[in-house]
Amino acid sequence: MTSILFILVLIAAGYFLVSRIKIRLSHTRVYIGIYMLLLMFAVAAFYYLGKTGSSLALENSEARESEFHRFLETGRVEHLKGIRKLGQWSFTYRGKELALKSTKDYFWTVVAIERKNASDETIEVISYTTGMQLKDADNPPGVKLKDGQLQLTNPPPVEIDLYATVADFTMTQFNAEKSVYNVDHSLAQNILGNQVLLVRIPAQLQLTVDETVSVIEQK
C-alpha cells in the first residue's frame, strides 16, 4: 500500500514539475548532450574496469564447505586450496599436562589437534581461514599460554559491508539462469569461510579440553 501511494505521489509530483519546467530547446540540447556523453563514457569505463579493475568474485558454492571438513578430518587442512594463514604462535612448554580452554563463554573456531612425532617441548598454534581476504576482516583469535593452560579468545567482532552489482530486471527477464537475487547462505559461507586453529602438541603431552572448545583430533 505504501509503495502504491509512493508511486502515485511520484506521478503527481512528476506531472506537476515537468508541466511547469520551461527550458529552451538549445539549453536542453546542451544538457542532454553532456548527459549522453557521460553515459557513453560510463559504458567505456565499465568495460575497461571489467578487464583491468579488481573486484571480489562472489560465488555460491557448497562444495567448498564439505571439502574443508574432509581435509580437516584427514589432517591435511593446511594443504586445502585457498586456505590462508591468519596468525602463528609458538610456545615452549615443559609440563606433562595441558588444558585447552576458552576465556569467554564459547570459542567459535574449531580447534584441530595434531600430535607431533617428537617430544620437542614446543606447542605450535596456527590460525587458518578459507574466507575472502577483506580489509579489516582478517582477525586471528587470541592465543595465550598461562599456568598450564592454552587460553583461547575469540577474535573481535567483525562487520563486513559488501556491495555486489547485479543485472537489471530488464536483463534477467530474458536470462533466467542469471537471477538477480539468487543469493543464498552458501555465498555468506564463502565470504566468511571456515576458520580453524591448528594446535600441534608434543607426542606425550596429556591434553584436557574444556567444554567451551570444539576439538577435532587429526588422524
Partner 1 sequence: MSLSTINLFTNVKRQLNYKLKANAGILFSLVAVQLLAALLSYNGTVSIGWGSGTSFISLRLVSGDIIIIFSLIWAFTAGLIVAANSQRYDFVFVTNRLSSNLSSVAVLFILSVGGGVSATLCGILLRVYLLLNNNSISSTYLSPYILLIGICSAVLYSLLFSAIGYFLGILSQRNKAYAVLLPALFFGLLFVEARSVGSTRHILSVIYFFIKESSLLIFALKILLAVALLYSAVILIANRMEVRQ
Q: Which residues in the 18-57 window bind partner 1 by CB under 8 A? A: 18-19, 21-25, 28, 31-32, 35-36, 38-40, 42-43, 45-47, 49-50, 53, 55-57
Instruction: List binders of partner 1 among 59-118 (CB under 8 A).
Output: 108-109
Dump strand ranges (E) for 55-141: 84-92, 97-102, 107-115, 122-129
Which CB, 119 or 173, lies closer to partner 1? 173
- Rounded to whole angstroms, the Cα distance separating 131 from 135 reads 12
Taking the least distance from each CB to partner 1, the nearer of 49 and 203 is: 49
Task: Please select the residue that binds partner 1; options are 97, 105, 147, 161, rule is CB under 8 A.
Answer: 161
Three-class DSSP category at 46: helix
Options 80, 83, 99, 134; binder of partner 1; rule CB under 8 A: 134
Number of residues in contact with partner 1, rule: CB under 8 A? 72
State the nearest-atom distance from the C-beta of 120 to partner 1, in Å: 32
Among 191, 205, 207, 209, binds partner 1 (CB under 8 A): 191
Residues belonging to the chain: 219
- Report the alpha-carbon distance of residue 94 to residue 145 in Å, rounded: 12
Dig out the grid coordinates for 157 from the structure: 567482532
Shortest Å, Cβ 2 to partner 1: 11
Residue whose C-alpha is closest to residue 199's, from 65, 78, 70, 105:
78
Q: Which stretch binds partner 1 (CB under 8 A): 7-15, 68-76, 93-101, 199-207?
A: 7-15
Q: Measure the CA angle with vertex 76, ends 72 and 81; round to 5°.
A: 90
Q: How far apart are CA 9 and CA 85, in angstroms?
A: 55
Among the listed residues 97, 105, 147, 159, the single contact to partner 1 using CB under 8 A: 159
